Structures are given as structure tokens and as C-alpha cells.
Structure 1
Amino acid sequence: MGKLPELYVAVDVEADGPIPGPYSMISLGMAVVGRDDLRFYTELRPISDEFVPEALAVSGLDRDRLLREAPAAEEAMAAAAKWINGLRKEGRPVFLAGPAVFDGMFVHWYFHRFLGKSPFSASGSGIDLRSYWMGLEGCEWVSSRKSVIKQKLGVTGLPHTHHAGEDAAELAGVFEAILASRKE
């Protein structure tokens, strides 16, 4: 049996503040690059009473509804880990985010805090879209925004909505276009 291919898992989170712990991840979306059929989305019950109203407003999610209806963090992260580990039949999941610092910080912290380990890796390492693009293009940081990448590659029909599931799919589409551009 040959070595399984890497599966780039585009990850997006919405949070109600700048860091995990004092603040909460309130939704998590994942989409496998090149595989529209492999997506995951969950909302999460806030873990703290603290929140930044402006940060919460970005997602458009109702905090009171999340407190009443969303799964607890342990349940949501267990479902996410099960989904990621289920991908291992087809390939090796590799974390992808843009920016990886923000999304990765929340995802890694939540996996370790609520499950004791991350299904991605012990270090939380993965691919940062902007850093990847800078290395590929030799450009400066300012020219590595997702909107710039989309314009340069002619990527359309992938809006950024601040819905974690939709934004994960957007990121997957952008990275798929970047990979295709390398082959040309």
C-alpha cells in the first residue's frame, strides 16, 4: 500500500474575543481542499462570561442562543476530532488557515483543553495561507491578503461571509487555486 496523500484541511473559526480561555470560540468550520464533499461545521457554547461585543458582532451569531442551544466545547471538539480522524482513511490531514496564528491558536487550545490532544499534531503546526503565498510569490505581507490572492488568480464566487463553514470553504477554494497555479 502506498503512502496516503496529504489532505489540506482549511479551518476557520469565529470567536467572541482575541484569545482562547478568557474568550470563546463560537463556531468552527473545516473544508478539505479539492473535496467539496468533505466539510464540517459546528457552533460551540461559550466557555466564558467575557466577550468583546465588536468581536461577537463579526460572526452575527446570537450569544444567548449559543448558550441555550450550541453543544458544549467538549462535545463540539470531540465531533471535530472524529471528523478529522475519519479523513485518515483517505489521506493525512494537514491544518491550513489564513491567518494560522488566530485560527490555529483557538483550534489548538480548544483541542488540548477539552480533549487533551489535537488530531492535527502535538505542536499545532500547519500551513498559513499568507506565509505560503509570500514564499511562492516573493511578495511583501501587504500583498498576501486573501482578497489580493483571489484577484491575482481570478478566483470568484467565493465570498468571505464570517460564517466559519463558508469561510473554510472559501479558504479551501483559494488554496486549491494556488496549488493549481503552481502546476501551470
Structure 2
Amino acid sequence: MPGPYSMISLGAAVAGRQDADGYVPAEDPEAHTFYRELRPISEEFVPEALAVSGLDRERLIESGSEPAAAMAAFTDWVREVSTGAQPVMCGYPASYDWTFLYWYLIRFTGASPFGHSGCLDMKTLYATKARLPLRAVAKGAMPRELLSRRRHTHHALDDAVEQAELFSNLMRWDPDR
């Protein structure tokens, strides 16, 4: 949970735009991205979770971005890439990433460019479109055409690009076809 534990990296990618005329996917989810590695804010950490990230905690303590500067830069980036549109944070599942991201934004900038509820959970989106109970949903059980072909690396930027592709595929997917 944020506060006692630290967010050590943040990756984001633009998945597309949606307006009254519908959804338009990004041509290349790698074209507009954001990435920062952050200085930890506490001494608490889970060694197994840190190992998955591949990041070195001691290096982050010495040279990671200050959270306030990283969150301000992220807010500026979100505003720039979403000019004329309402930005929405999407994740699979969104609950974990949103909890850390929103907490960090409020704690270090005092505001969120997404507002207090501008997040969309792709797991729920898939369950709704597939007409499945949420407990029956897992990425491994999704139709292959929905999934990104990218390797899942647990690097925040790689994961963001992978999730942008999943979101675009979900938005265009019609399970009745």
C-alpha cells in the first residue's frame, strides 16, 4: 500500500482517444510515453516484489527522481498528451496501479490530472464485454487476438505499452462477431 511502501517506477503510454464519435486507437503506443524511476519514500519494502522489478533499491535511493518532481512531470505529460480530451488511467487490473498513482499524485502535487475517479479497469471491461463474472476473468483465458504480442517484462514502461495495446484491442473487440 502506498505511504508505508514506495512506488519505485512509473510508466505510461497513450492508448488512444475516445469522444462522441467513438474510439480511435493510438497508431503506435510507443510514440507517446512517460517513464521515471523514483526515490523510495520509506524504509519498508518487499524483497520479492523488488526482485520482480529488476530495479536496484540502493541505486534508486541515490539517483531516483524525487517523487514530487516525477509526479509534476507526469502531470504535465498527461495534460500535454490529452489536450482537448479527458485523460483516463487504464490498467489491468487498475486497482493496484491506481491506488499508488493517485496517492502519489495527491501526496506530491495536491491534485490528479485524472480527477478522483478517472480510471478504467480493463479486467472489468473485458468481463462486461465477454459477459463473464469477474472471478472467471484471467488474461490467460482471453482470446489471443486481444492480448499484446509483447513479452511481459515487469518493466513499468514495457508494461504500459503492453497494456495500451490490450486496451486498444478491447475497445475495438466485438465478441459477437
Q: With structure 1 as the length reference, what TM-score do the two structures score? A: 0.82
Q: What is residue 85 of structure 2 aligned with on the other side?
A: 91
Counterparts of 2:146 and 2:123, CA distance in 1: 17
Q: With structure 2 as the length reference, what TM-score do the two structures score? A: 0.86
Q: Tell whether 2:98 aligns with 1:104.
A: yes
Which of 18, 30, 37 lines up with 2:12 in the alignment?
30
Q: What is residue 167 of structure 2 aligned with on the other side?
A: 175
Post-superposition Cα deviations, 1:75-108, rounded to whole Å, max 9, x if no partner, equal 1111100100112325321111111110000000
Q: What is residue 51 of structure 2 aligned with on the other side?
A: 57
Matched letter for residue 21 of structure 1: G
Q: Tell whether 2:76 aligns with 1:77.
A: no
Contact in 1 for aligned 2:86/2:114 (Cα 8 Å)? no
Q: What is residue 116 of structure 1 aligned with on the other side?
A: 110
Contact in 2 for aligned 1:155/1:177 (Cα 8 Å)? yes
Q: Which moved more, 1:89-98 or 1:39-48?
A: 89-98
Question: Following TM superposition, by how much is the alpha carbon of 1:117 offset from its aligned partner in structure 2, in angstroms?
Answer: 0.7
Counterparts of 1:154 and 1:84, CA distance in 2: 25
Residue 139 to residue 73, structure 1, CA distance change in 2 (3 Å)? same
Which of 125, 129, 133 lines up with 2:126 in the alignment?
133
Contact in 1 for aligned 2:12/2:161 (Cα 8 Å)? yes
Matched letter for residue 55 of structure 1: A
Percent identical residues: 41
Q: What is residue 156 of structure 2 aligned with on the other side?
A: 164
Counterparts of 1:174 and 1:156, CA distance in 2: 6
Question: Following TM superposition, by how much is the alpha carbon of 1:146 offset from its aligned partner in structure 2, in angstroms?
Answer: 2.5
Aligned length: 164
Post-superposition Cα deviations, 1:59-86, rounded to whole Å, max 9, x if no partner, equal 0100001111111100111110010011
Say what the alpha-carbon RMSD is for the aligned residues: 1.7
Q: Which moved more, 1:87-96 or 1:157-166?
A: 87-96
Structure 1, unmatched stretches of 5+, are 1-18
Instruction: Find runs of 4+ consecutive structure 1 residues off by over 3 angstroms.
Output: none
Question: Following TM superposition, by how much is the alpha carbon of 1:154 offset from its aligned partner in structure 2, in angstroms?
Answer: 5.5
Counterparts of 1:32 and 1:68, CA distance in 2: 30
Post-superposition Cα deviations, 1:25-62, rounded to whole Å, max 9, x if no partner, equal 00011111133211111110000011111111110100
Q: What SS does structure 2 have at the residue aligned with 1:92?
A: coil
